C-alpha cells in the first residue's frame, strides 16, 4: 500500500515538475523572510547600541529659554545616578552657497558626549575652523569657507564669533541618526546640513542646553534602560525648575542693580549740577524811559497832536528831531517846548482802539489850536482833547537832507495797505453821516 502511494506521488511530480518547484520556492521565500524579520530587530538594536555607546550619545537633553550657567551644569552633574553633565550652544543660520542661501545648524563640540565620527579631514584646532556634515559636504569642499550670510538677524550674528569658518573635516554625528536634519524658523524652514564648532567659535554668556549621561546605563531601547530613565526623570525635572527660578532671580537682580546704579548716577549728576554756582543774568524791564537816554516820555498837555507811527529802522534813529508846524514855527519834541501824545490806534484783532505810547507824534497844527482858542477855552479837557484830533488832516513832512521824506518803510506799507483796503468794495452796511468828532469817538477806519 505504501509503495503504491509513493509511486503515485512520484509520477505526479514527474508529470508537473514546474508547479512543484514553484510551490517549493514560495515556501522557502516565506521562511526566509520570517527568519530575517526575527533576526533583523536584534541585529539592528545591537548595531545601534554599539554606535551610541562608542560615540557617547546623551541620555538627557535639558533646554531652557533663560540659559544655563556653569553652576547649573555642576548642580546637574552632582545628581545621584548621573555620570556627567555638559553645557552646549547651538544656533541656526543662513549660509551663502553660491547664488542661494541654505539653513545650517551650528553646534558646539563637547568632549565626552556626542563625539563626532570623523569621515575625512581632521578635527578643528582653531576657533574659526569647523567640521561639516558628510552627507552634504564633500572632500572637495575641505579648506573652503563656510560664509555666514549678512541677512541673518542681529542675535545670530552676535552669537557667532566669526563671519566665516574654514571647513577642515567631514563627520557623522550620533545626534543625527537619520537623514532628516530638523526644521528651523528661518529660511525655507528646513535644515539642510550641520556643522560643529569649537566652543570658542561662539560668543555667548550662557549655555542653551545641557547633556546628561547616566551611570552604568543598560542597553539602549531596553526595558531596563527605560526604568533607569524613569527613575531619574523626577529628580532632573525638580532640579531643572529650581535652577530656572534661581536663574530668573539672578537675571532680575542684575537688571535691578543696573537700574539702581543708573538712578544713583543721575542723582549724583543732579546734586553736582546744583552745587555748581551759576551766573545769574537779569534782563532790563521795558519802561517808558528806557528807550531814550536824552529825555523821558512826554505827558499830554494843553495842545494835542496827531502823527503817523514810525518804527526804528536802519535809516532812522530814535533821536529827537525838530519839525516845523504848519505856521512856520519850529517845534521840538522835547518835554519843555512842545508836548506830544499818542493817538489811540485800532487793534487788528478787535475794533477797540489801543494806545501805542511808543510812537512819536506830530505837534498839533496852529489852525486847529486857534479854532480851540476861538471857542473861549484856553485849555481843552483831556477827554475832549483826545476826541479833538483830526485824523483826515496830515501836516506836511519835512524832507530829509539827502532827498525823500522821513517816512519809514513801515509807514509806507501802512499807507499802501489802507489805500488798498479802501479801494476794495465794502461789505459792511453804510453808516449815517456823523460829525468828525463823533466819527473819531466811534473809531476812525
pLDDT value at 273 more than 80: yes
Asked whether residue 385 carries a pLDDT value surpassing 50, the answer given is: no
CA angle 108, 113, 114 (to 5 degrees): 65
- Check whether residue 76 and residue 209 sit in a common domain: yes
Residue 70: give the domain boundaries. Answer: 57-255
Q: Is residue 156 scored above 80 in pLDDT?
A: yes
Distance CA 53, CA 388 (A): 119
Instruction: Report residue 285's pLDDT band, with 50, 70 and 90 as the boundaries.
Output: low
Characterize the bridge pairing of strands 129-133 and 164-172.
parallel
- Same-domain status, 93 and 107: yes
Number of domains in the chain: 3
Would you say residue 418 has pLDDT above 70? no
Does residue 187 share a domain with residue 248?
A: yes
pLDDT the model gives residue 19: 87
The yes-or-no verdict on residue 367 having pLDDT over 90 is no
Residue 374 — very low, low, confident or very high, per pLDDT cuts 50/70/90? Answer: very low
Candidates 149, 150, 154, 165; CA nearest to 198 is 165
Q: What is the pLDDT of residues 96-105, one digit of tens each?
A: 988 899 999 9
Instruction: Write down the pLDDT at residue 17.
Output: 85
Q: Which one is predicted more confidently, 355 or 216?
A: 216
Q: Which of 63-72, 313-322, 337-346 has the highest mean pLDDT?
A: 63-72
Position 79 scores a pLDDT of: 94
Q: What pLDDT sits at residue 3? A: 81
Same domain? 48 vs 71? no
Q: Are strands 330-331 and 117-121 parallel, antiparallel or unpaired?
A: unpaired
- Cα Rg, the chain, nearest whole Å: 54
Please check whether residues 183 and 119 belong to one and the same domain.
yes
Q: What is the pLDDT of residue 89?
A: 96
- Give residue 75's pLDDT: 95
Same domain assignment for residues 62 and 159: yes
For residue 215, pLDDT over 80 is answered with yes
Q: Does residue 431 lie within any of the structural domains?
A: no
Calpha distance 196→117 (Å, rounded): 12
Q: Which residue has the higher pLDDT, 15 or 382?
A: 15
Whether residue 201 is found in the same domain as residue 214: yes
Q: What is the pLDDT of residue 200?
A: 94
| Band of pLDDT at residue 8, cut at 50, 70 and 90 | confident
User: What integer is the mean pLDDT of 262-273?
Assistant: 90
Mean pLDDT throughout 106-129? 94
Mean of pLDDT values over 192-216: 95
| Mean pLDDT of all residues in 434-439 | 48
Q: What is the pLDDT of residue 380?
A: 45
State the residue for C-alpha cell 508547479: 19
Q: Which of 117, 122, 211, 200 is nearest to 162 (CA)?
A: 200
Quote the pLDDT of residue 9. Answer: 80
User: Residue 251: CB partners within 8 Å, gap ≥ 6?
Assistant: 66
Is residue 317's pLDDT more than 80? no
Cell of 315: 535809516
- Residue 308 DSSP SS3: coil
Span 211-230, average pLDDT: 92
Residue 18: band (very low, low, confident or very high) from pLDDT cuts 50, 70, 90: confident
Q: Is there a single domain that holds both residue 119 and residue 226?
A: yes
Question: What is the CB neighbour count within 10 angstroms for residue 125?
Answer: 8
pLDDT of 381 > 80? The answer is no
Q: Do 45 and 65 reside in the same domain of the chain?
A: no
**What average pLDDT does range 9-30 have in this prediction?**
87
Q: Tell me the helices (H) and strands (E) count for the chain, helix number first.
A: 9, 14
Query: Who has greater pLDDT, 14 or 318?
Result: 14
Residue 340 resides in a domain:
yes
Mean pLDDT for 184-206 is 94
CA distance 192 to 180: 9
Q: Would the pLDDT of 88 be above 50?
A: yes
User: What is the pLDDT at residue 271?
Assistant: 87
Per-residue pLDDT for 312 more than 70? Answer: no
CB 61, CB 209: distance < 8 Å: yes
Question: Is residue 161 domain-resident?
Answer: yes
Co-location of 145 and 220 in the same domain:
yes
pLDDT of 242 over the 70 cut: yes
Task: Give me the mean pLDDT over the 151-167 stretch.
Answer: 95
Which parts of 289-407 fold into alpha helices (H)?
366-374, 382-387
* Residue that terminates a domain, selected from 33, 52, 71: 52
Statement: residue 244 has pLDDT above 90: yes
Q: Are residues 48 and 61 in the same domain?
A: no
Note whether 211 and 178 are same-domain residues. yes
pTM above 0.85, yes or no: no
Angle, vertex CA 61, rays to CA 55 and CA 62, nearest 5: 150
Amino acid at each position: 500500500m505504501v509503495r503504491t502511494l509513493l509511486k503515485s506521488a512520484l509520477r505526479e511530480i514527474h508529470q508537473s515538475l514546474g508547479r512543484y518547484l514553484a510551490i517549493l520556492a514560495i515556501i522557502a521565500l516565506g521562511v526566509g523572510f520570517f527568519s530575517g524579520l526575527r533576526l533583523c530587530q536584534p541585529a539592528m538594536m545591537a548595531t545601534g547600541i554599539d554606535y551610541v555607546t562608542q560615540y557617547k550619545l546623551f541620555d538627557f537633553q535639558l533646554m531652557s529659554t533663560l540659559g544655563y550657567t556653569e553652576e547649573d551644569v555642576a548642580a546637574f552633574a552632582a545628581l545621584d545616578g548621573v555620570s556627567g553633565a555638559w553645557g552646549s550652544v547651538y544656533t541656526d543660520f543662513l549660509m551663502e552657497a553660491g547664488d542661494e542661501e541654505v539653513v545650517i545648524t551650528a553646534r558646539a563640540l563637547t568632549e565626552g558626549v556626542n563625539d563626532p565620527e570623523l569621515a575625512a579631514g581632521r578635527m578643528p584646532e582653531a576657533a574659526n575652523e569647523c567640521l561639516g556634515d558628510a552627507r552634504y559636504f564633500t572632500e572637495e569642499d575641505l579648506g573652503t569657507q563656510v560664509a555666514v550670510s549678512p541677512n541673518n538677524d542681529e542675535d545670530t550674528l552676535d552669537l557667532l564669533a566669526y563671519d566665516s569658518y574654514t571647513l577642515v573635516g567631514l563627520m557623522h554625528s550620533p545626534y543625527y541618526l537619520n537623514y532628516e536634519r530638523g526644521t528651523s524658523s528661518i529660511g525655507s524652514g528646513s535644515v539642510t546640513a550641520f556643522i560643529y564648532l569649537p566652543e570658542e567659535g561662539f560668543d555667548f554668556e550662557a549655555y542653551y542646553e545641557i547633556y546628561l549621561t547616566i551611570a552604568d546605563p543598560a542597553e539602549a531601547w531596553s526595558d531596563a534602560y527605560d526604568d533607569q530613565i524613569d527613575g531619574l526623570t523626577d529628580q532632573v525635572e525638580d532640579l531643572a525648575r529650581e535652577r530656572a527660578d534661581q536663574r530668573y532671580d539672578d537675571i532680575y537682580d542684575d537688571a535691578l542693580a543696573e537700574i539702581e546704579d543708573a538712578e544713583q548716577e543721575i542723582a549724583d549728576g543732579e546734586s553736582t549740577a546744583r552745587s555748581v554756582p551759576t551766573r545769574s543774568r537779569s534782563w532790563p524791564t521795558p519802561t517808558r524811559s528806557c528807550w531814550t537816554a536824552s529825555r523821558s516820555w512826554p505827558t499830554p498837555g494843553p495842545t494835542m497832536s496827531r502823527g503817523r507811527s514810525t518804527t526804528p529802522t536802519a535809516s532812522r534813529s530814535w533821536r529827537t528831531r525838530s519839525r516845523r508846524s504848519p505856521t512856520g514855527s519850529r517845534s521840538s519834541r522835547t518835554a519843555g517846548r512842545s508836548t506830544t501824545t499818542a493817538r489811540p490806534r485800532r487793534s487788528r484783532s478787535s475794533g477797540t482802539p489801543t494806545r501805542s505810547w511808543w510812537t512819536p507824534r506830530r505837534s498839533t497844527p496852529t489852525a486847529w489850536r486857534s479854532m480851540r482858542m476861538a471857542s473861549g477855552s484856553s485849555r481843552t479837557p483831556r477827554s475832549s482833547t483826545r476826541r479833538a484830533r483830526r485824523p483826515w488832516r496830515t501836516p506836511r513832512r519835512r524832507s530829509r537832507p539827502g532827498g525823500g521824506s522821513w517816512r519809514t518803510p513801515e509807514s509806507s506799507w501802512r499807507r499802501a495797505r489802507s489805500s488798498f483796503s479802501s479801494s476794495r468794495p465794502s461789505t459792511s452796511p453804510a453808516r449815517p453821516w456823523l460829525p468828525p468828532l463823533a466819527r473819531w469817538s466811534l473809531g476812525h477806519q
